[in-house]
Chain A
Amino acid sequence: MTTSSDEKPNSFKALPDSDGHFGIYGGRYVAETLMPLILSVEKAYEEAQADPTFQAELDEYLKHYVGRPSPLYHASRLSEHLGGAKIYFKRDELNHTGAHKINNTMGQILLARRMGKERIIAETGAGQHGVATATVCALFGMRCVVYMGETDIARQAPNVFRMKLLGAEVVPVTSGSATLKDAMNEALRDWVSNVDDTYYIIGTVAGPHPYPAMVRNFQKIIGEEVRQQMMEAEGRLPDSLVACIGGGSNAIGLFYDFLDEEEVTIYAVEAAGKGIETGEHAASLSAGEPGVLHGNRTYLLQDEDGQITEAHSISAGLDYPGIGPEHSWLHDAGRVNYVPITDDEALEAFQLCTKLEGIIPALEPSHALAHVSKIAPTLPKDHLLVMNMCGRGDKDVFTVAEALGVTL
């Protein structure tokens, strides 16, 4: 039942299997009460995938409401400054609501409507997924309840207010570390208590099957657009891809279309917080062990008794002690390079990008930018590097000001 990293699979795109497993990872580890519902979500999703009108409707909304395709932008000043690779940004921060999250919420809300559900719940960390969910609920006139850790509510006040303006109820979660993992516990508790009318829009490529595969499929448009745009711009595929990773939805969205292109080097950047060695980080692949939480088996930050430990990152969106199961599998298979970046490195990259490109990145992709800053100078000028600018940084200016010691 294990996937040996010695055996190279024929394709990196063949999983999950019919039960939602990526090698030993993934699966459906939920309470029995939820199982019939999870199976019905899977069935409804399969039917939607086979129905051309579903994809056509989604495409219409993605084009005219979300604003896809997002541009592929040559960051020439940053490229020149770093003095190596030719750097492109995939501008998913230009999507409606300011992040890649809406690619997924738009797909799932259409599915929830197909299933006849009336009430939507979601968990959120940085608030981007919460805003993206509240937005599509407003668009379709559906009730929306967003669970958010109290710690995150304090550091992401603008997004909390946005959700409320959009008509969502934001429920503060005080249990545990009062961050994303606890918000997900609380959302699962809500779902198990409201199975009849409620659909749970999970925001990342984690949770019980079919969520990791479904969210990936709604996000893979990012990489598909990059392929086409890069062919138009340069006449060939990119040489490397870089994306930040919390749960991993923007990363798998960029990577998926290129997983079987051997010549494309792929980097996923984990939040190393104050440094892996300090124990205060969110780097589940660099410093975690496989375990079972929130419906799937995957790498988790935990102690030797199997208790989940608290993650730390300056970025609320990366502050989660787990990671999507497909990433765990890609890590073990050696296809994607998972690298750590600290809070300080991300802050520096945040400022560099803002000054050189006039783009204020979210703290999440600032981690990816920091890794780009490390590797770009070592690469030749004809090396084509694509970084996913998965969110804009307006929501983070208060956090950054505080970190830089500026009083607003």
Chain B
Amino acid sequence: MSRKEARLKARFEHLAAEGRAGLVTFITAGDPNREVSSAIIEGLPGAGADIIELGMPFTDPMADGPAIQASSLRALEAGQDMKATLAMVRSFREKDDDTPIVLMGYYNPIYIYGVEQFSEDAADAGVDGLIIVDVPPEEDAELRDPANKAGIDFVRLTTPTSDEQRLPALMGGASGFIYYVSIAGITGTKSAATSNVADAVTRIRKFSDLPIAVGFGIKTPQQAAKIARVADAAVVGSAIVQVIAENAEKGDKTKGSPDLVNSVLRFVSELAQGVRTARS
């Protein structure tokens, strides 16, 4: 058991000290299978990921575009479940006690696991934060309270539709960081104009001192760099997942091509390069 307090806080302080934004990389746990997925996660910090966002696969990912939908199904077909996802975090923590891990997903698998038990087990495994897409502030107390009690940050989402009346309530129960969904849409589709993102970040800063990560529609190192100039972190998901998909198709169905892990990490390095040089 390797509980360490506030990895997210420490990581963002470290980034601020370095004067740069962070790179948050998303992959779905167990995609294309548990073994390959674990190898990717273990390689992410070395490739330049500052925070790992790990998707908990779900059959009905309503806020996700085709790339992440497909990654969820690949993981489920390979037998991934919540216990396996937590076990992957636990084994990552044996080697890396500093890189924050944020679980992202939908409420039902957590609800069925049991919110109290899930919070305890996730914290025990070394999870630092939760992003639950289909639980708005109006409904999140039943999960946020046990998660916070277990020491897990509850990351709130804000969107282009969150106006100034709604923002204070959104910030109220937030911890870890604020996730700004930069487009009104699903993952991996449209991209926002940088100026709109900058305006939104300024608006959010009026209501919260927490770091702001920006995601949705960031697909290239260049786009990540643009976001890194105006936000505290850039989140890339679908584009990474797409590299997994392309290599999984090329190789053996269950194992993926031998080059899969390297291809993913190579792409993450390029993204990290973009983020790290953005402000220089």
Rounded to whole angstroms, the CA-CA distance of A301 and B82 in the bound complex is 18
Rounded to whole angstroms, the CA-CA distance of A33 and B62 in the bound complex is 12
The contact of A19 among B58, B76, B138, by CB within 8 Å, is B138
Q: Is A32 in contact with B158, judged by CB distance below 8 angstroms? A: yes
Nearest CB of chain A from residue B143's CB, rounded to whole Å: 10
B36-72, CB < 8 A from A:
58-63, 65, 69
Nearest CB of chain A from residue B118's CB, rounded to whole Å: 10
B80-134, CB < 8 A from A:
81-82, 106-113, 133-134
List residues of chain B with CB within 8 A of the CB of A50.
Answer: none
* A182 nearest CB neighbor, chain B only: B60
Confirm or deny: A128 has a beta carbon within 8 angstroms of a beta carbon on chain B: no
The interface size of chain A toward B, counting residues with CB under 8 Å, comes to: 39
Q: Is B60 in contact with A176, judged by CB distance below 8 angstroms? A: yes
Rounded to whole angstroms, the CA-CA distance of A31 and B138 in the bound complex is 11
List residues of chain B with CB within 8 A of the CB of A307.
Answer: 58-59, 76, 81, 109
Can you name 18 A-B pairs with beta carbons within 8 Å? A29-B139, A30-B134, A32-B170, A35-B161, A35-B166, A36-B162, A37-B161, A188-B62, A192-B184, A193-B184, A194-B184, A195-B184, A291-B108, A292-B106, A293-B60, A304-B112, A307-B81, A308-B60
Rounded to whole angstroms, the CA-CA distance of A29 and B82 in the bound complex is 20
Chain B 158-199: CB-based contact to A (< 8 A → 1; otherwise 0): 111111001000100000000001001110011000000000
The contact of B136 among A30, A188, A294, by CB within 8 Å, is A30
A284-309, CB < 8 A from B:
289, 291-295, 297, 300, 302, 304-308
Confirm or deny: B227 has a beta carbon within 8 angstroms of a beta carbon on chain A: no
Confirm or deny: A90 has a beta carbon within 8 angstroms of a beta carbon on chain B: no
Nearest CB of chain A from residue B252's CB, rounded to whole Å: 24
Q: Is A302 in contact with B112, judged by CB distance below 8 angstroms? A: yes
List residues of chain B with CB within 8 A of the CB of A176.
Answer: 59-60
Chain A interface (Cβ < 8 Å from any Cβ of B): 1, 19, 27-37, 175-176, 181-182, 185, 188-189, 192-196, 289, 291-295, 297, 300, 302, 304-308
Q: Is A289 in contact with B162, judged by CB distance below 8 angstroms? A: no
Q: Is A31 in contact with B133, judged by CB distance below 8 angstroms? A: yes
Nearest CB of chain B from residue A30's CB, rounded to whole Å: 6
Q: Is A305 in contact with B136, judged by CB distance below 8 angstroms? A: no
Rounded to whole angstroms, the CA-CA distance of A312 and B76 in the bound complex is 20
List residues of chain A with CB within 8 A of the CB of B190.
Answer: 193
List residues of chain A with CB within 8 A of the CB of B139.
Answer: 27-29
Rounded to whole angstroms, the CA-CA distance of A35 and B166 in the bound complex is 10
* B83 nearest CB neighbor, chain A only: A305
Rounded to whole angstroms, the CA-CA distance of A294 and B58 in the bound complex is 13
Rounded to whole angstroms, the CA-CA distance of A223 and B56 in the bound complex is 44
Q: Contact size class for B?
A: 35 or more
Across chains A and B, which 9 residue pairs bring their CB atoms closest together, nearest first? Answer: A306-B112, A306-B109, A193-B185, A305-B81, A33-B159, A306-B108, A32-B157, A308-B59, A31-B63
Q: Is B138 in contact with A292, judged by CB distance below 8 angstroms? A: no
List residues of chain A with CB within 8 A of the CB of B110.
Answer: 306
Confirm or deny: B135 has a beta carbon within 8 angstroms of a beta carbon on chain A: yes
Residue of A33, A182, A196, A308 most packed against chain B (CB within 10 A): A33
List residues of chain A with CB within 8 A of the CB of B186.
Answer: 189, 192-193
List residues of chain A with CB within 8 A of the CB of B60.
Answer: 176, 181-182, 185, 293-294, 308
Residue of B69, B159, B162, B166 most packed against chain A (CB within 10 A): B159
Majority SS at the chain A contact face: mixed
* A1 nearest CB neighbor, chain B only: B142
The contact of B63 among A189, A195, A289, A297, by CB within 8 Å, is A189
List residues of chain B with CB within 8 A of the CB of A289.
Answer: 112
Contacts A192-B186, A300-B108; A294 near B113 (Cβ below 8 A): no
List residues of chain B with CB within 8 A of the CB of A292.
Answer: 106-108, 111, 134-135
Q: Is A33 in contact with B108, judged by CB distance below 8 angstroms? A: no
Residue of B111, B113, B136 most packed against chain A (CB within 10 A): B136
Contacts A36-B163, A291-B111, A293-B108; A306 near B82 (Cβ below 8 A): yes
List residues of chain B with CB within 8 A of the CB of A36.
Answer: 161-163, 166
Nearest CB of chain B from residue A25's CB, rounded to whole Å: 12
Contacts A176-B59, A185-B60; A306 near B111 (Cβ below 8 A): yes
Nearest CB of chain B from residue A214's CB, rounded to whole Å: 17
Question: A35-B161, A36-B166, A307-B109 provided; 14 other pairs, C-beta below 8 A?
Answer: A28-B136, A29-B107, A29-B135, A29-B136, A31-B62, A32-B158, A34-B161, A36-B162, A194-B184, A291-B112, A292-B134, A293-B108, A306-B82, A306-B112
Nearest CB of chain B from residue A345's CB, rounded to whole Å: 29
Nearest CB of chain B from residue A26's CB, rounded to whole Å: 10
List residues of chain A with CB within 8 A of the CB of B65.
Answer: 189
List residues of chain B with CB within 8 A of the CB of A32.
Answer: 136, 156-159, 161-162, 170, 181
* A177 nearest CB neighbor, chain B only: B59
List residues of chain A with CB within 8 A of the CB of B61.
Answer: 185
List residues of chain B with CB within 8 A of the CB of A185.
Answer: 60-62
* B181 nearest CB neighbor, chain A only: A33
Rounded to whole angstroms, the CA-CA distance of A19 and B142 in the bound complex is 15
Q: Is B62 in contact with A294, judged by CB distance below 8 angstroms? A: yes
Residue of B76, B135, B162 most packed against chain A (CB within 10 A): B135
Q: Is A305 in contact with B112, judged by CB distance below 8 angstroms? A: yes
List residues of chain B with CB within 8 A of the CB of A297.
Answer: 111
List residues of chain A with CB within 8 A of the CB of B113.
Answer: 306
List residues of chain B with CB within 8 A of the CB of A34.
Answer: 161
